[in-house]
């Protein structure tokens, strides 16, 4: 398989360009990682093209010659999240999420995982995230802050998706405060409002909703709900009397926007466990935002970047 030519759809400038070049330099030389396929690991060389637009995986012989087994375009990566299917070491692994597939990788240490994961976040930034990085840098410079994030940064793009969802539903600021250990304590009035909103959300997800549940990238219409004890996510075909499957809430390690198989990234989301995912598509964006928000509250986990 040969490396295809890349086309840029936007021009990188400023701090975003510096971070992109640094991340590309880090990953272009290649690194050996465990790549999981069907939950089984294989040692693979992972590298990006010099322009930082494509990520490849394959093998390398003793003379340094590379053979490519596969590739994906980084501009099509929808998110980079902690943990991967198959790996028992959440602190060592991460996943590149693509609409058609995932690239599941495991590193040797948590520090290297963070370094490579954040570099991929930088390389997969969307134009609006790039603009936000440059705007933040310009604001910092004007206020005397100066400097730029390291190539392993990408926090602004990682937080953008979470902020978008949390700010699109009732009680968003309180939810963000509850999930952030560094946030200021809520007032009594805010706590009361937060608890009221949380109860409404939990009542709704216990009653259930109609979704398309994706399995092997094929959609199946399912009812999805949360058990009365709030300890399991359940799904069935026609009603709640017949349960087709469940996912314990305690096993959920993350929530991400979009899901494998769905072309409607604004309508879908994924609940991630250590060894599987629950891929769901809603009928509208407000419904998607509501359920994502509710699952963030239920699991006490923010949206993965």
Q: In the structure, what pLDDT confidence band is assigned to residue 74 with cuts at 50, 70 and 90?
A: very high
Burial class (CB in 10 A: 0-12, 13-18, 19+), 129: buried
Q: Write out the two tokens for 190.
A: 């805010």
Q: Do residues 94 and 174 share a domain?
A: no
Q: Write out the two tokens for 79.
A: 């998110």
Q: Write out the two tokens for 293.
A: 């928000």
89 has pLDDT over 90: no
Distance CA 203, CA 266 (A): 24
Query: What is the SS3 assignment for 76?
Result: helix
236 contacts 220 by C-beta, under 8 angstroms: no
Q: Do residues 112 and 177 share a domain?
A: no
2 has pLDDT over 70: no
The predicted pLDDT at position 175 comes to: 54
Residue 88 lies in a domain: yes
- Chain segment 237-270, per-residue pLDDT in tens: 877 778 999 999 999 988 888 888 887 888 899 9
Q: Do residues 105 and 166 share a domain?
A: no
Q: Do residues 82 and 170 share a domain?
A: no
Helix-helix angle 188-207:285-299, to 10 degrees:
110
In 10 A of CB 267, how many CB atoms? 22
CATH for 23: 2.30.29.30
Residue 2 lies in a domain: no
- Domain enclosing residue 282, as ranges: 157-299
Q: Do residues 177 and 290 share a domain?
A: yes
Q: Do residues 84 and 164 share a domain?
A: no
Residue 223 lies in a domain: yes
Residue 251 lies in a domain: yes
Distance CA 18, CA 150 (A): 9
Residue 148 lies in a domain: no
Q: Do residues 110 and 170 share a domain?
A: no
Q: Write out the two tokens for 125.
A: 């930034």
- Chain segment 93-126, per-residue pLDDT in tens: 999 988 888 899 999 998 888 889 888 988 988 8
> How many domains in the chain?
2
Q: Is 80 left (phi over 0), alpha (psi -120 to 50) or beta?
A: beta
What is the b/e burial string over 199-233, where b = at least 16 CB atoms within 10 angstroms of the residue's CB? Answer: eebeeebeebbebbbbeeeebeebbbbbeeeeebb
Residue 133 lies in a domain: no
Determine the straight-line distance between the first and last CA of the chain, rounded to whole angstroms: 30
Q: In the structure, what pLDDT confidence band is assigned to residue 284 with cuts at 50, 70 and 90?
A: very high
Distance CA 93, CA 200 (A): 35
300 contacts 179 by C-beta, under 8 angstroms: yes
Residue 143 lies in a domain: no
The model carries a pTM of 0.52
Domain boundary among 128, 147, 167: 128
Q: Do residues 109 and 189 share a domain?
A: no
Q: Do residues 64 and 164 share a domain?
A: no
Q: Do residues 82 and 172 share a domain?
A: no
Q: In the structure, what pLDDT confidence band is assigned to residue 276 with cuts at 50, 70 and 90?
A: confident
Residue 212 lies in a domain: yes
Q: Do residues 246 and 185 share a domain?
A: yes
101 contacts 260 by C-beta, under 8 angstroms: yes
Q: Do residues 174 and 122 share a domain?
A: no
33 has pLDDT over 90: yes
Residue whose C-alpha is closest to residue 231's, from 213, 198, 206, 195? 206
249 contacts 230 by C-beta, under 8 angstroms: yes
- Chain segment 150-209, per-residue pLDDT in tens: 444 433 333 444 444 444 444 444 555 555 555 566 788 878 888 888 899 999 999 999
């Amino acid at each position: 398989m040969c490396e295809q030519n890349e086309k840029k759809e936007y021009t990188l400038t400023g701090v975003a360009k510096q971070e992109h070049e640094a991340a590309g330099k880090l990953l272009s030389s290649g690194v050996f990682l465990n790549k999981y396929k069907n939950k089984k690991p294989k040692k693979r060389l992972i590298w990006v093209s010099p322009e930082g637009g494509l990520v490849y995986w394959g093998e390398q012989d003793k003379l340094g010659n590379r053979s490519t087994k596969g590739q994906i375009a980084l501009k099509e990566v929808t998110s980079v999240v902690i943990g991967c299917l198959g790996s028992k070491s959440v602190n060592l692994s991460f996943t590149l999420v693509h609409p058609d597939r995932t690239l599941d990788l495991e590193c040797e240490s948590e520090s290297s995982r963070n370094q490579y994961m954040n570099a991929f976040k930088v390389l997969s930034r969307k134009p609006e995230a790039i603009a936000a990085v440059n705007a933040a840098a310009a604001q910092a410079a004007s206020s005397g802050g100066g400097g730029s994030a390291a190539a392993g940064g990408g926090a602004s793009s990682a937080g953008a998706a979470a902020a978008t969802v949390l700010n699109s539903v009732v009680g968003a600021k309180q939810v963000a405060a509850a999930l952030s250990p560094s946030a200021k304590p809520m007032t009594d009035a805010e706590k009361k409002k937060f608890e009221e909103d949380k109860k409404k959300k939990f009542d709704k997800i216990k009653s259930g909703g109609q979704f398309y549940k994706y399995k092997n990238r094929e959609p199946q219409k399912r009812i999805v709900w949360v058990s009365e004890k709030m300890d399991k996510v359940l799904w069935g075909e026609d009603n709640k009397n017949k349960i087709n499957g469940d996912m314990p809430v305690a096993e959920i390690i993350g929530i991400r926007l979009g899901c494998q198989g769905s072309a409607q990234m604004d309508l879908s989301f994924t609940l991630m466990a250590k060894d599987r995912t629950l891929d769901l598509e809603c009928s509208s964006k407000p419904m998607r935002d509501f359920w994502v928000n509710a699952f963030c509250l239920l699991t006490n986990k923010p949206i993965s970047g």
